[in-house]
């Protein structure tokens, strides 16, 4: 009976979805392309907001159920045990349901824009919701915002694919999904718009700006109407900015930049360690989550997203952080409390990297806010304890969040307006701008690429602020290599060369040794007087006429780097080597032709 009822519900939903789909196709035929984009950005905004509501509610439900289970079973050290269970469940779901793989991090969105023509897998529309809910809902020390943005981007991308929209519109709706996701998660539509522009899109115009604003506003509105206010991350208690505290905000900005750099580098080291760990997925999950459990035992605020502990700091109730911990007896000692908060801030990166490295799913958006709030609290609390000045601990706690978010993700505008929106006003706009810009400048100086795309940028695979680079890097270098060359061996005369010239219309010949290693190049245009003289052909060696290439292309280089080498050398043809072995030539005109074709397809697709 239960199976029949479930089947009936599934059939009902499928039929109604098909009817809605046919109705939207009808509207597409009746509306102008621009009107249909406006309709689409509303639909994508609603879909992304509903995904946020499901994800937040499901994660909240998982958290509540785990707490009730603990109350019923009285599990020992439950805060340390539950994250292990959640990460193991996530790993099993990925292995058994999601074909053993799931894309993590907002970098996947930029990669889709730069390398996959804005196409995201359909499974990302539900995979992030399920896996991150178990990871974070059961205490994994990560955030839900990255899964939210990926889910929103997947909705936008797949919507565009379903209704056969162009690459340009597909990328636009992908960004609309991201903006709606952030707008819904924080009830912060402006931050959603700015995040989509700063992080996702390579370029922006007024025509693209309007649909993104509509999507972000739609997402925030749906979230406000349907989502429980307790689940949303917001603050009501904010004091006015005192300009006398300006030097301390400058200090906070500098510290935010330095802490952002440390966070990014530490996270990558631990991520790299887990990537090369010779364990199966279950053992890796148990190993990483086990260490995480130990950290949470000593520092309970590392459990889950940590937003509740941020509110405690902003409301200047830090002593509650050490209640029911091994440090509880020190809660009346302000210096011990300061050390506890500072240690928690520094350890957060280890907790998050262990969560994700062990196989859990989540992001670093919430951890960046966590670290920033703790850092801001430490600065203000320390200044107050020493008696140097009297600072608003709550204000510094909030502004610190913007500083780390800006430094880590290289998104200062998003950081400024996110904190302004979740605090319900713009009283802190000046310190937010100051701290975010200083942190961004310092982080950018030592980490040219943002935290989320550093791995791709190191490989030259994604450059979100450069459309030409994105197009070039989406072209397969291997398919451009010309392998129909005529090799020449080292010889005391040029008889072999003359024979090869007669057999082909090539104007460049590689000189190779017996192991196919490149020794030099012979350019026909520069040796014509020699090859047309029988005497010179007989008594001239290849060593006398060959020359070294001005530039060499290596097989694993990106096309952007290759084009730089063409420009620097002034050559129209360059040799390609892989592990010292000569593979062939790449002609500049073929690269430009491929670029032109790819650009044309993106415009009229």
User: Does 236 reside within a domain?
Assistant: no
The mean pLDDT value for 133-138 works out to 87
User: Does 360 reside within a domain?
Assistant: yes
Instruction: Read off the tokens for 406.
Output: 């800006």
> pLDDT tens across 3-46, in order?
554 445 456 555 666 777 788 778 878 888 888 999 999 999 99
Quote the CA–CA distance of 287 and 479 in Å, as a whole number.
Answer: 43
pLDDT surpasses 60 at 508: yes
* Same domain flag for 105 and 197: yes
Quote the CA–CA distance of 379 and 327 in Å, as a whole number.
Answer: 21
Residue-level pLDDT at 501: 81
* Same domain flag for 523 and 486: yes
User: Does 234 reside within a domain?
Assistant: no
* Same domain flag for 556 and 426: no
User: Does 237 reside within a domain?
Assistant: no
Report which of 121, 224, 215 is spatially closest to residue 172, judged by C-alpha positions. 215
pLDDT surpasses 60 at 462: no
* Residue that wins the pLDDT comparison between 6 and 531: 531
* Same domain flag for 79 and 16: no
pLDDT surpasses 70 at 92: yes
204 pLDDT band, cuts 50/70/90, is low
Question: Taking the model in full, what pTM does it have?
Answer: 0.77
The mean pLDDT value for 65-89 works out to 72
Number of H helices, E strands in the chain: 25, 5
* Same domain flag for 96 and 143: yes
* Same domain flag for 388 and 488: no
* Same domain flag for 52 and 4: no
User: Does 166 reside within a domain?
Assistant: yes
pLDDT surpasses 70 at 68: no
* Same domain flag for 456 and 549: no
Q: Is the dihedral of CA 475, 164, 220, 209 positive or negative?
A: positive
Kind and range of the H or E run holding 522: strand 518-523
Look up the CATH number of the domain holding residue 574. 3.10.580.10
Quote the CA–CA distance of 425 and 411 in Å, as a whole number.
Answer: 20
77 pLDDT band, cuts 50/70/90, is low
471 pLDDT band, cuts 50/70/90, is low
Of 11-20, 52-61, 476-485, 543-552, least confident by mean pLDDT is 11-20
* Same domain flag for 252 and 376: yes
Ordered alpha helix ranges (H), 410-531: 412-422, 429-446, 454-458, 467-473, 495-503, 524-531
Residue-level pLDDT at 252: 95
> pLDDT tens across 293-316, in order?
999 888 888 888 888 888 888 777
Instruction: Read off the tokens for 309.
Output: 């502990």
User: Does 334 reside within a domain?
Assistant: yes
pLDDT surpasses 70 at 380: yes
pLDDT surpasses 90 at 440: yes
Ordered alpha helix ranges (H), 447-481: 454-458, 467-473
pLDDT surpasses 60 at 406: yes
Report which of 321, 326, 323 is spatially closest to residue 311, judged by C-alpha positions. 321
Quote the CA–CA distance of 574 and 590 in Å, as a whole number.
Answer: 12
Q: Compute CA distances 380 → 318, 430, 570, whole Å.
A: 13, 17, 57
Residue-level pLDDT at 604: 46
pLDDT surpasses 70 at 278: yes
Q: Over the chain, what is the mean pLDDT?
A: 82
Residue-level pLDDT at 486: 83
In angstroms and rounded to an integer, the radius of gyration of the C-alpha atoms of the chain is: 29
User: Does 197 reside within a domain?
Assistant: yes
121 pLDDT band, cuts 50/70/90, is confident
> pLDDT tens across 230-255, in order?
555 666 666 677 788 899 999 999 99
Domain span including residue 5: 1-28
Quote the CA–CA distance of 496 and 508 in Å, as a whole number.
Answer: 14
Tally of domains within the chain = 4
Residue-level pLDDT at 356: 92
Q: Which residues contact 106 (CB under 8 A, 6 or more apart)?
A: 146, 149, 150, 178, 199, 200, 363, 365, 452
* Same domain flag for 389 and 517: no
3 state SS of 584 = strand
Q: CB–CB of 90/135 below 8 Å?
A: yes
> pLDDT tens across 566-598, in order?
888 888 889 999 888 999 898 888 888 877 776
The mean pLDDT value for 310-329 works out to 77
Of 104-108, 177-181, 542-546, 566-570, least confident by mean pLDDT is 104-108
* Same domain flag for 59 and 19: no
Look up the CATH number of the domain holding residue 82. 1.10.3080.10
User: Does 314 reside within a domain?
Assistant: yes
Kind and range of the H or E run holding 595: helix 588-604
Q: Which of 163, 194, 226 is the last residue of a domain?
A: 226
DSSP state of 300: G
* Same domain flag for 64 and 116: yes
């Amino acid at each position: 009976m239960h199976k029949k009822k479930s089947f009936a519900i599934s059939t009902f939903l499928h039929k109604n979805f098909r009817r809605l789909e046919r109705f939207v196709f009808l509207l597409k035929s009746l509306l102008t392309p621009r009107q249909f984009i406006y309709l689409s950005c509303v639909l994508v905004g609603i879909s992304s907001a509903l995904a946020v509501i499901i994800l937040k509610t499901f994660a909240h439900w998982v958290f509540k159920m785990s707490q009730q289970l603990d109350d019923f079973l009285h599990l020992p050290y439950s805060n340390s045990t539950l994250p292990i269970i959640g990460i193991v469940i996530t790993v099993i779901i990925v292995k058994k349901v999601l074909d053993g793989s799931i894309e993590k991090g907002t970098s996947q969105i930029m990669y889709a824009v730069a390398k996959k023509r804005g196409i995201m897998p359909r499974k990302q529309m539900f995979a992030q919701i399920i896996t991150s809910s178990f990871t974070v809902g059961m205490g994994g020390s990560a955030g839900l915002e990255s899964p939210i943005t990926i889910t929103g981007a997947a909705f936008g991308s797949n919507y565009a694919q379903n209704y056969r929209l162009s690459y340009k519109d597909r990328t636009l709706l992908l960004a609309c999904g991201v903006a709606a996701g952030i707008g819904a998660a924080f009830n912060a539509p402006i931050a959603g718009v700015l995040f989509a522009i700063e992080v996702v899109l390579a370029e922006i115009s007024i025509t693209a700006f309007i649909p993104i604003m509509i999507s972000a506003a739609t997402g925030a509105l749906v979230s406000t109407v349907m989502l429980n206010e307790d689940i949303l991350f917001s603050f009501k208690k904010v004091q006015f900015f005192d300009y006398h505290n300006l030097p301390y905000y400058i200090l906070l900005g500098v510290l935010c930049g330095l802490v952002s750099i440390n966070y990014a580098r530490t996270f990558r080291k631990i991520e790299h360690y887990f990537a090369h760990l010779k364990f199966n997925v279950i053992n890796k999950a148990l190993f990483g989550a086990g260490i995480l459990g130990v950290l949470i035992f000593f520092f309970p605020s590392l459990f889950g997203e940590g937003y509740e502990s941020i509110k405690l700091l902003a409301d200047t109730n830090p002593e509650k952080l050490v209640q029911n911990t091994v440090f509880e007896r020190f809660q009346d000692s302000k210096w011990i409390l300061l050390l506890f908060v500072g240690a928690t801030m520094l350890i957060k990166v280890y907790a998050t990297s262990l969560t994700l490295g062990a196989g859990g799913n989540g992001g670093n958006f919430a951890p960046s806010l966590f670290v920033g709030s703790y850092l801001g609290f430490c600065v203000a609390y320390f200044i107050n304890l020493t008696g140097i000045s009297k600072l608003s601990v709550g204000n510094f706690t909030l502004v610190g969040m913007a500083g780390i978010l800006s430094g880590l993700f290289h998104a200062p505008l998003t950081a400024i307006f996110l904190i302004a929106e979740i605090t319900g006003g713009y009283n802190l706009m000046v310190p937010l701008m100051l701290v975010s810009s200083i942190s961004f400048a310092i982080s950018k100086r030592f980490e040219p690429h943002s935290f989320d795309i550093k791995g791709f940028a190191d490989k030259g695979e994604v450059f979100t602020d450069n459309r030409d680079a994105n197009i070039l890097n989406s072209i397969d270098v291997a398919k451009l290599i010309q392998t129909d060359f005529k090799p020449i061996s080292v010889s005391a005369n040029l008889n072999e060369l003359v024979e090869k010239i007669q057999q082909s219309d090539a104007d460049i010949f590689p000189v190779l040794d017996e192991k196919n290693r490149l020794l030099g190049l012979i350019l026909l245009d520069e040796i014509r007087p020699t090859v047309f003289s029988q005497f010179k052909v007989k008594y001239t060696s290849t060593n006398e006429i060959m020359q070294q290439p001005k530039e060499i292309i290596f097989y694993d280089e990106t096309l952007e780097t290759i084009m730089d080498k063409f420009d620097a050398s002034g050559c129209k043809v360059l040799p390609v080597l892989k592990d010292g072995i000569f593979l062939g030539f790449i002609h500049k005109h073929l690269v430009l032709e491929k670029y032109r074709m790819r650009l044309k397809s993106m415009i009229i697709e």
